[in-house]
A and B are shown apart, each in its own frame.
Chain A
Amino acid sequence: MRYVYAVCRPLPGPLHADLTGVGGAPPRQLAHEGLVAVLSPVPARDFGLEPLRAHLEDLDWLAETARAHQHVIGALAAVTCPLPLRLATVFRDDSGVRAMLESEHGRLCRILDRIEGHVEWGVKVWLHAEAGGSASAESSSARSSRPRGAPASGRDYLRRRKAQRTAGEEATARAEVFARRLHAELARSAAASRQHPPQSPALAGTGSGLNILNAAYLVPRSYAEEFLELIGRTEGSQPGLRVEVTGPWAAYSFTDDTDDTDDTDDMEGE
């Protein structure tokens, strides 16, 4: 079977010889009608319908496969602007891939044109757990007449809990204002932008806090430094907030076949 990673314009040369893909097989190019599919052979015992469905429930398998997929896309992104396909796009043989390139030709070309010369940067704003909880709660409990230490009574305990919660909500609100401004500014300097649902801190790793903004920006390669500088300027301006940048990614978040305006996805394309 054929696992297809991405579709590209014809590449200037062969793929790196020791590049490996899903299952460890080296990817190769299949050119058809002015487009190139980058694919590698995968065994039917893993990528047939039933085994694939079972595998997808297995987080370890999924993680390994996702990383292998991204590894190939990342390598392609160094030499071209690949159009990444969703994980586990599998065909029986080369002719199936050719048929796809033919039938999807219009849509693929439109998206490729749009992402040409661009990369994707991910920008996330995190609110540290302490910023909402203990840190600001301390200042508000200092404001109240009671000294720190063990609560004197049940009522005192409840009052502190309330102060803590209020402080947390205030911190979240401030963080949201900051995130909105940052997003507006970055979106202005980008060719396109998308906001993704906030990430679960458990997935993102320990100690990351609350995810306030999770956005992606399509930025011309040549403009990367200026774009990152925009973000760098905000550094440290907001206590308790952390701005995290990931990338450059292939234009994963900009593969929908719609207009470029932010977050408008009312049409499915063709």
Chain B
Amino acid sequence: MTTASRLPDSYGQGGGTNLADVLERVLDKGVVIAGDIRINLLDIELLTVKLRLVVASVERAKEMGIDWWEDDPALSSKARRSELARENAELKQRLERLELARGDAGSESGSERDRDRGGEPERDRGSEPERER
């Protein structure tokens, strides 16, 4: 019934699949169903944000030219900024949607949500460059 055997050999689908691809899908995609154990979806969303930040160690990040926490307009390029802005907007949108969804899905842990909402690390960083002027 399946045509799986006809497919070309999968591209690194075995043990070697890169972690970023696996995490991106398993952690960030896939249908969201409220289980009995409500880990805060916001936690997961924030976690992916955090992962993006944490895993890029400062040294590696500099090497890659990601320098947006360094308040140095001379070193940044428009392209990178707009990409970050886009990602930022998208993440915010997603957070909003999740908050809405949580509102519907029963709000047993309302107090936790408030605490979590305080975070928003992306926005804080994004707005920093203005400070220096």
Contacts and interface: CB of A to CB of B under 8 A. Distances in A.
Contact of B37 (A1, A59, A253): A1
A86 B52 contact: no
B107 interface: no
Contacts of B21: 122, 204, 246
A217 interface: no
B131 to A, nearest CB: 24
B22 A85 contact: no
Given A56-B44, A70-B17, A248-B7, A84 B23 contact: no
Contact of A245 (B11, B26, B29): B11
Nearest to B109: A49
A70 B22 contact: yes
B8 A168 contact: no
B85 to A, nearest CB: 12
Contact of A221 (B7, B35, B40, B86): B7
A253 B43 contact: no
A174 to B, nearest CB: 11
B37 A52 contact: yes
Contacts of A205: 18, 20
Interface in B64-112: 64-65, 77-79, 83, 86-87, 90-91, 97, 100-101, 104
A203 interface: yes
- B1, B18, B56, B86 pick with most chain A CB within 10 angstroms: B18
B30 A200 contact: no
28 contacts: A48-B37, A62-B23, A70-B26, A84-B31, A85-B32, A85-B33, A87-B30, A87-B44, A89-B33, A91-B35, A96-B35, A119-B7, A172-B77, A197-B87, A199-B20, A200-B20, A202-B55, A203-B23, A203-B52, A204-B18, A210-B65, A221-B7, A224-B8, A228-B8, A244-B11, A246-B12, A249-B13, A255-B31
Given A88-B39, A90-B35, 17 more contacts: A4-B33, A56-B44, A57-B47, A62-B27, A79-B1, A84-B25, A84-B29, A88-B35, A89-B33, A96-B35, A96-B36, A100-B33, A197-B87, A201-B60, A201-B64, A204-B18, A252-B30
Interface of A: 1, 4, 7, 12, 47-49, 52-53, 56-57, 59, 62-63, 66-67, 69-70, 73-74, 77-80, 83-92, 96, 100, 104, 108, 111, 119, 122, 129, 165, 168-169, 172-173, 176, 196-205, 210, 221-222, 224-225, 228, 244-249, 252-253, 255-256, 265, 268
Interface of B: 1-4, 6-8, 10-13, 17-33, 35-40, 43-44, 47, 51-52, 55-57, 60-61, 64-65, 77-79, 83, 86-87, 90-91, 97, 100-101, 104
